[in-house]
Amino acid sequence: MAKKKYDESSIQSLTFTEGIRKRPTMYIGSTGEKGFLHLIAEGADNSIDEFAAGYGKSIKISYDIATKKIVISDKGRGIPFGKLEDVMCKTHTGGKFNSESYKFSRGINICAEI
């Protein structure tokens, strides 16, 4: 078997989101059923965090068979409008990185189309 070239030209730098797209299993464990369930759990955890903080009123999780989409919604505080794009489109962005908004946090903010 021929050895593959590995030198300085082999090293790449990806943005964080490029890394997630190229190797999603590093973040959700699997691109199969297990990873799918992990994404659902993360979304549900965010809703549970609102309840734990005393702001949640209801949680609804639904699955649309026709579109194959899961929707998780809660009647919590929501995302401050001025930061909506950042929270939904940038990794490691949210209100859970300090102890002022949440005393306890189960989930992290993620957005994924399934």
In a domain? residue 107: no
In a domain? residue 98: no
In a domain? residue 73: yes
Contact 85, 92 (CB under 8 A): no
What is the CATH classification number for the domain harbouring 60? 3.30.565.10
In a domain? residue 110: no
Instruction: Please choose, from the candidates 35, 12, 15, the residue with its C-alpha nearest in 3D space to the C-alpha of residue 25.
Output: 35
**Domain extent at residue 36:** 15-89
Number of domains within the chain: 1
Q: What is the pLDDT of residues 14-48, one digit of tens each?
A: 887 788 888 888 778 888 888 888 888 888 888 88
In a domain? residue 57: yes
Q: With bands split at pLDDT 50, 70 and 90, how would you rate the model's confidence at 104?
A: low
3-state SS, 1-64, equals CCCCCCCHHHCCCCCHHHHHHHCCHHHHCCCCHHHHHHHHHHHHHHHHHHHHCCCCCCEEEEEE
CA distances, 33 to each of 37, 50, 111 (Å) = 6, 27, 17
